Amino acid sequence: MKFRSKLLILLLAISLIPLTSISFILVKGGYEEIRNKAEEGLLNLVEAKAEYYDHTFQDIAQSINGVAFHISSVWGKGTYYNKSYIWISPDGKGYEKFEEDMKNFEFIMPAFQSIIRETEEINLMFLGMENGVCFLSDAKVVEKLMNEIKHFDHRERIWYQLAKERNATVWTPLYIDVNTGELVTTVSTPVFVNGKFIGVLGSDLLLGTIKNDILDIRFAGSGFPLLVGRDGKIFVHPEYTASGKRWNESFEEENIFDMKGLAEVGDEIKNGTTGLKLITLHGKKYYAVFSPVNEINGSLLFLLPEEVITRGINEAIKSIIPLLTLVFIGTILAAYLFSLSLTRPIEKLQKATREIAKGNLDCIVDIKGKDEFADLSRDFNKMVEELNISRRALKESEEKYRGIFEESTDVIYITTEDGRLIDINKAG
């Protein structure tokens, strides 16, 4: 193997092995760094969204509490009513018994309309009284109760019973709305007049409204959000539907403690903490990111396929590969040129040496640069020059000797020690 090949292999080994190691370390480190940043960004996104949802639900609850306070302050001051917006539980009969209570319609209806105008998420508002009178913001609901349902008692509904039982503003579990037949949740609060409980004020938020208008979290078209209560019940799920059930049939939410994979984050949801975990759900890896939404006594849980993150990281890594390839090619080219710069002067000296060995003392080496190879070439050229001088001096001496030898009148001859004649001049 030639010296140039050996030198090139050595240079490549010295340069490419560290470069390959460094590239591997950089790529691996970059992968981890990008992954950590993606996870951090995802956690920050969900935390910010949870805080936003918390404020949204708080605003709705505060609006309901404001209306409840307003009703308490103006109760008994009304002068007229509109039966089209009033239902008498349980069968829509006996309006004449409640004329004084129904006159509060004068102040209740403007408050309903104001809140509905200001809060797009609210679908329906109502005030159900302990005596059976129920004010509703939509006359079509009363018409439906009168003509289709015919028997409806708001005092048996979960929104009424929870607010009365807990004596506080509450968010109900999902149930089937009597008006739309869709899944709905209600924020409801008890109403007092002069310290006496008279009924419950509530407003409906359809599940579709919560999923599409409030839970607007998106991530590259993948993943989906859930609202989960502290007890593990999934309050909002993208696959929830009424499934054809009637308004007076019960609806049971799924519970993450009963679901393999999601149960891993159950304790974090229960404790209201913020965090991120990699879980396996239906045989697929997901990032489960969670953050509390205190107003509904639950948490936002966002599920994102791991492949969404890794796909983005791999694309980022792939964009680096062409650059690394150029660096490798550049390194190989630099090593080749460097080895060439080292071996070319040696090859020139080798060629010149062969010419001198043939007797060509006129051969000189072309000198370029100021390195050790250039110095060696200069010394070589000086040596050849001195050989030329010695050769010319020898030739001149030989010619002089030959002239004396041939032209002398004396006999001159050369013999060996044993007497053999080697040469003799003309005179001899």
pLDDT value at residue 105: 96
Tell me: pLDDT of 402 over 70: yes
Structure-model confidence comparison of residues 396 and 27, the more confident one? 396
pLDDT value at residue 208: 83
Question: Which tokens belong to 331?
Answer: 């390194």
Distance CA 154, CA 324 (A): 71
Confidence of residue 127 (pLDDT cuts 50, 70, 90): very high
Structure-model confidence comparison of residues 411 and 80, the more confident one? 80
pLDDT value at residue 323: 64
pLDDT value at residue 312: 57
Amino acid identity of 196?
K
Tell me: pLDDT of 220 over 50: no
Confidence of residue 23 (pLDDT cuts 50, 70, 90): low
- Residue ranges of domains in the chain, CATH in brackets: 57-210 (3.30.450.20), 312-415 (no CATH)
Which parts of 161-213 are beta strand (E)? Answer: 170-171, 175-176, 183-193, 196-206
> Average pLDDT for residues 259-283, to the nearest whole number?
91
Which long-range CB contacts under 8 A does 353-357 form with residues at least 24 apart? 356/384, 356/387
Kindly compute the dihedral angle of the four CA atoms of residues 59, 63, 65, 70, in this order, to the nearest 10 degrees: 160
3-state secondary structure of 135: strand
Structure-model confidence comparison of residues 351 and 288, the more confident one? 288
Distance CA 232, CA 301 (A): 11
- Residue closest to 279 by CA, chosen among 270, 289, 292, 269: 289
394-423 burial string, b = 16+ CB within 10 Å, else e? eeeeeeeeeeebeeeeeeeeeeeeeeeeee
Task: Render pLDDT for 42-83 as a digit per residue (tens, 0 to 9).
Answer: 899 889 988 988 998 999 999 999 999 999 999 999 999 999
Place of tokens 């970059």: 30
Tell me: pLDDT of 311 over 60: yes
